[in-house]
Homo-oligomer: A and B are copies of this chain.
Amino acid sequence: MNIRYTADELAFRDEVRAFVRQSLPADIATSVRLGKHLNKEQHQRWQRILSTKGWYAANWPVEHGGTGWTVVQKHIFQEECAALGAPRLISFGVNMVAPVIIKFGTEQQKACYLPRILSGEDWWCQGYSEPGAGSDLASLKTRAVRDGEHYVVNGQKTWTTLGQYANRIFCLVRTDTDARPQQGISFLLIDMDSPGISVRPIITLDGEHEVNEVFFDNVRVPVQNRIGEENRGWTCAKYLLTHERTGQAGIGTSKAALAHLKQVAAQETCDGRPLIEDPLLRAQIADIEMQLMAIEMSTLRILAAAQAGGVPGAESSILKIKGSEIRQAISHLMRKVLGPHALPFVEAELNPAFAGEPRHADYSSAPASEYFNLRKLSIYGGSNEIQKNIIAKMMLEL
C-alpha cells in the first residue's frame, strides 16, 4: 500500500500548480479567497485561460478536445485549482451536458455543441428541479408535446443556477404522462432566447442572485434538440448523476477556505492575542483539519478504485455528506472569528470591482453571507438526508 502519488503524478501536480500560480489572474484569486460574488466576465476569463492551455475540458476524451487525463490526474487538477484559489468551474456545460452529448448525442449534436462549449461561446444552465419537486426529481411536471418536428414545452423549472448568464438550457421534460414517473421523460436542449422563455431571479437569503426560475410558455423546440430517445431521458439524467462524483467532497475548496480561516484568525484578536492562539478555537480548527484529512484519504481510496476501473457507488454519498459538513463548519468558524465584524452587510463590498476602503478588513465583508449561502451544500444535488437514504439502500441494503 502507498498513499502517495507516483512520481509522474507528482510531476503533473507540480505542472498544474506552476501553471495555476502563474496564470490565475490576481483579481479572480482575490475574489475567490474573500468570498466575493464572481461576475460572468471573471468566470469566462478563467475558462478561456484554461481552454487556451487545453485544460478546460478535463473530463472529455481527447478526440473532442479533452485532456485524456487519468482519473487521478483529473482529481489532482481539480483539487490543485481549488486549493490555489481558482474559481470552481461552472460545470453545466463542460462537465454536465457535454458528457451526456458525448455519450448519447448524435454526431451532428456533438459537432454543433461541443466546440461552442470549449470556446466559451455557449453558457449552459440546467433545467432539472421544479417547484414542489425538491429531491423527488422524477415527479417533474414540465410537459413537452410533439407537434410535427417540434416539441411544445410548457412548465416551470427552478433553482436554475446562473441561468441569467446562460444562452442554453438542458431540460428534463415529460413526454409521456401515462408512464411511470421515471419513464416518459425526455432530455431536451433549448435555446434560452426561444420565444416563450422567461427568467425570474430568485434572491437568496444572502442577497445574492445566483439562482432563477425559468418559465416555459409554449416554447417550440426542434425535435433534433432531443438527446437520446424519446421517453428515455432518465437514462441521461442518471448517467449525469453518477458521472464523475469523486469531486463531491470539495477537498481543495475546503483546504483553501481553511488556510484562509487560519490567516484571518491570526489577524483578528481577542484579549490582546491573535485568535488562532485561543485553545478552544484552535481545537475546533484542528478537528476540522483532521476530518478533512480523513475524507481526503477516503477520496484517494475511491480514486484508486476508479483508476482500476471500479465505479464509485454510495461512497460518493458519504463524501458528499462529510464534504458539505466540513465546508459548512469552516464557514461557521470563519463567521465566528470575525465576531461583531461579521454583522455588516455591505453588498457593494461583495462586488469584485469594489475599490473602496473595506468596513473592517478586506476579509470581513463576505463570511456571514457565505455562511448562509453555503447552507445550500447540504440541500442541493440530493440533500444530505437523501444521501443517507441512498447509503442505506445501496450499501446497506436496508
Which chain A residues have a beta carbon within 8 Å of chain B's beta carbons? Answer: 279-280, 283
Contact = CB atoms under 8 A, between A and B. Distances in A.
A283 B282 CA distance: 13
- A-B pairs, top 4 by smallest CB distance, nearest first, are A279-B279, A280-B283, A279-B280, A280-B280
Contacts of A280: 279-280, 283
A279 B283 CA distance: 10
Nearest to A278: B279
A1 to B, nearest CB: 31
Contacts of A279: 279-280
A384 B251 CA distance: 35
4 contacts: A279-B279, A279-B280, A280-B280, A280-B283
A385 to B, nearest CB: 15
User: DSSP majority for the A interface?
Assistant: helix
List the number of copies, as a whole number. Answer: 2
A326 to B, nearest CB: 21
Nearest to A283: B280
A306 to B, nearest CB: 37
A288 to B, nearest CB: 15
A280 B283 CA distance: 8
Nearest to A280: B283
A284 B387 CA distance: 31
A279 B281 CA distance: 11
A277 to B, nearest CB: 11
A279 B280 CA distance: 7
A154 to B, nearest CB: 35
A283 B280 CA distance: 8
A280 B287 CA distance: 13
A231 B216 CA distance: 64
A225 to B, nearest CB: 44
A252 to B, nearest CB: 30
A231 to B, nearest CB: 37
Contacts of A283: 280
A283 to B, nearest CB: 6
A398 to B, nearest CB: 15
A53 to B, nearest CB: 47
A36 B204 CA distance: 57
A181 to B, nearest CB: 25
A387 B282 CA distance: 36
A283 B281 CA distance: 12
A4 B18 CA distance: 68
A279 B279 CA distance: 7
A238 to B, nearest CB: 32
A280 B281 CA distance: 10
A63 to B, nearest CB: 55
Nearest to A279: B279
A279 B284 CA distance: 13
